[in-house]
Structure 1
Amino acid sequence: MAQYTIKELEHLSGIKAHTIRIWEQRYCILNPKRTETNIRYYDDADLKSLLNISLLNERGYKISKIAKMGQEQILQMVQQLCDQPCECSHHVSALVAAMVDMCEYKFDRALSTATIQMGFQETMLRVIYPFLNKIGILWQTGNITPAHEHFVSNLIRQKLLVAIDGQVVQWQEDSPTYILYLPEGELHELALLYMNYILRAHKQRVIYLGQNLPFKDLELTYEQFQADFICTVLTSVPEREQVQSYVNRLSERFPASTVYIYGYLTRTDGLVLPDNVKRLSCITEFIAKFN
């Protein structure tokens, strides 16, 4: 069972720690436990309860009224609200709760509801990316296991593949060519898949090479297609101290192309970008290039 500090609850729920303490004292909405060394902590049930209470409170229900409701009534009202057009934070909270339970049905329902309401691209930007940021917090604090991450990543990947498969793309003969790939050993594919979706939505020609690509195969593909752009995501590969040399290698080997790099490792301190390498700080920068 995961253990959360009150600051972690604040990050995950959006409710200030000070407010959580007041709600505890006045309305007894949470029941924190204590470690053997008398340190307060919260468990999964507390997190899910707070996410539901936060959702109702944001939709105008007073905390004093929520505190008088039973758990079953709260769950019913939350489900009704999640089925209605609403702010994205509610969808994100629903995904977090489904992930904690590892419930595919709940996760799929929450994601499908958001997609119906705002479309796939907006759901990715306004729901999935904030949700993935919260996963980062849970990962950093040790409150989810690799199994949780794989569970949600595979479900989101399935949604991306279905969306891409549903695209009908007929690019123009003069369309620029993009090669999309992940370095050898890199398996975090969600961002790259979404870049593929964006490019196809804007009728760009894409050569999608996917995960774990040896550099030699990238070179061979480039020789065949002479791509105008190369896009990659650096999340866990290469090693941090090798990022600069890897970026330099891309620049030197493909001097006639613009190389877009994205991901955690691209924020390495002191990274110097060659002229033909562009760093994307967020995915919306990539989308903006086509607007």
Structure 2
Amino acid sequence: MYTVKQVAALTGVAEATLRVWERRYEVVRPVRSSGGYRLYDDAQLAVLREMAALVEAGVPASRAAASVAELTAMPAAPEDVGAVSARPDGSEFVAAAASLEPAALADVLGRALASGPFEEVADDWILPQLVRLGQAWESGELSVAQEHFASAGLMRAVAAVFDAAPATAGGPAVLVGLPAGDRHQLALLCFATCLRRRGVEVVYLGSDIPTGEWVLAAERSRARAAVVGVTATTTLPVTQELIDALRRVSPPLSVWVGGSLRDAVDGAHPLPDRLAEAAALLHRSLAAGRL
């Protein structure tokens, strides 16, 4: 169990704010110690981390509370919590990108994140919007600066959810990253977030990691598996080299690949297209000791 002071330290949310969330939105209902102090369990800590991530990403507290209440099947306070946000469409996202207004982008991203479980939002909204951004840039609808502005906003929003997700310390770890030369990491970060939300300890390496650094990370970590994103034809040779190197690591490491070009490399287990399914498959394999 955790005291309110410990929860504040673990979530980055002030004690006073935690009490407001509890009183106004009923996102959690901590028990009381014999001395009258609030005590929170792991599940409640996870709920508060989820809400903190949504608020950090720009979701109004009332909407964030409604979203976490729906996810945890806990009744929300009827007078204070509004309905879960309707998911914004692609035109709203592109318009926010074109505006170069941080508040407009935060509003769109906040409504998207509050519209359902992260896994669903990632598969059905974030990744399609990433494609939409690329199309808007190619057609001249968005400039490079506008496209980068929106992409950076998406990265920050997803990173906030990743940071808020609890992981099982000391459990089997999974390395997640891209090969040297590949810098398109948003989809990979979404996958890593889905995996972390299942309690897996994710060692997120990010983009453009040389093969030697991958091997070093594998040898120095407790990783039981590695997930490599395969998204660019130009990096296929180095990706194959990376997979071969990871398969030679001792102790043995299970190597998985995801992305549009996952079938273009050999020697690794392919992951499904949908992020939620991919995270579920790897999580089951870890839990069953099949790696």
Q: Decide: shared fold, TM above 0.5.
A: yes
User: Which stretches in structure 2 are left out of the alignment for 5+ residues?
Assistant: 1-81, 285-291
**Pick from 215, 223, 245: which aligns with 1:227?**
223
Aligned to 1:170: 168
Higher radius of gyration, 1 or 2: 1
- How many Å apart are 1:208 and its aligned residue? 1.9
Q: Distance in 1 between matches of 2:93 and 2:247?
A: 42
One-letter code aligned to 1:127: W
Aligned partners of 1:178 and 1:231 also within 8 Å: yes
Over aligned residue pairs, what C-alpha RMSD do you find?
A: 3.0
Alignment of 1:50-69 (within 5 A): none
Aligned partners of 2:236 and 2:265 also within 8 Å: no
- How many Å apart are 1:152 and its aligned residue? 1.0
1:288 aligns with 2:290: no
**Pick from 181, 188, 200: which aligns with 1:185?**
181
Aligned partners of 2:256 and 2:269 also within 8 Å: yes
Q: Number of aligned pairs?
A: 201
Aligned to 2:244: 249
1:278 aligns with 2:254: no
Instruction: Normalising by structure 2, report the TM-score.
Output: 0.58
Q: Distance in 1 between matches of 2:259 and 2:107?
A: 28
Among all aligned residue pairs of Structure 1 and Structure 2, give the percentage whose two residues are the same amino acid. 24
Aligned to 1:122: 120
Q: Distance in 2 between matches of 1:196 and 1:248?
A: 19
1:195 aligns with 2:183: no
Q: Distance in 1 between matches of 2:221 and 2:148?
A: 34
- How many Å apart are 1:227 and its aligned residue? 2.3
- What SS does the corresponding residue of 1:210 show, helix, strand or coil? strand
- How many Å apart are 1:119 and its aligned residue? 4.0
Aligned to 1:149: 147
Q: Distance in 2 between matches of 1:222 and 1:285?
A: 24
- How many Å apart are 1:158 and its aligned residue? 0.9
Q: Distance in 2 between matches of 1:206 and 1:251?
A: 17
* CA distances 1:14-68 after superposition (whole Å, capped 9, x unpaired): xxxxxxxxxxxxxxxxxxxxxxxxxxxxxxxxxxxxxxxxxxxxxxxxxxxxxxx
Q: Distance in 2 between matches of 1:102 and 1:86?
A: 23
Q: Distance in 1 between matches of 2:246 and 2:190?
A: 24
One-letter code aligned to 1:136: G
Aligned to 2:202: 206
Aligned to 1:262: 258
- How many Å apart are 1:178 and its aligned residue? 0.3
1:143 and 1:262, CA in 2 relative to 1: closer, same or farther beyond 3 A? farther
- How many Å apart are 1:252 and its aligned residue? 4.0
* CA distances 1:242-276 after superposition (whole Å, capped 9, x unpaired): 26743652464349333222234436xxx2532x4
1:104 aligns with 2:102: yes
1:196 and 1:252, CA in 2 relative to 1: closer, same or farther beyond 3 A? closer
Aligned partners of 1:240 and 1:265 also within 8 Å: no
Q: Which fold has the larger relative contact order, with Cα–Cα distance below 8 Å and residues 6 or more apart in sequence?
A: 2
Q: Distance in 1 between matches of 2:158 and 2:247?
A: 32
Q: Distance in 1 between matches of 2:117 and 2:240?
A: 40
Q: Distance in 2 between matches of 1:201 and 1:244?
A: 27
1:241 and 1:197, CA in 2 relative to 1: closer, same or farther beyond 3 A? closer
User: Which stretches in structure 1 are left out of the alignment for 5+ residues?
Assistant: 1-82
Instruction: Normalising by structure 1, report the TM-score.
Output: 0.58
Aligned partners of 2:179 and 2:235 also within 8 Å: no
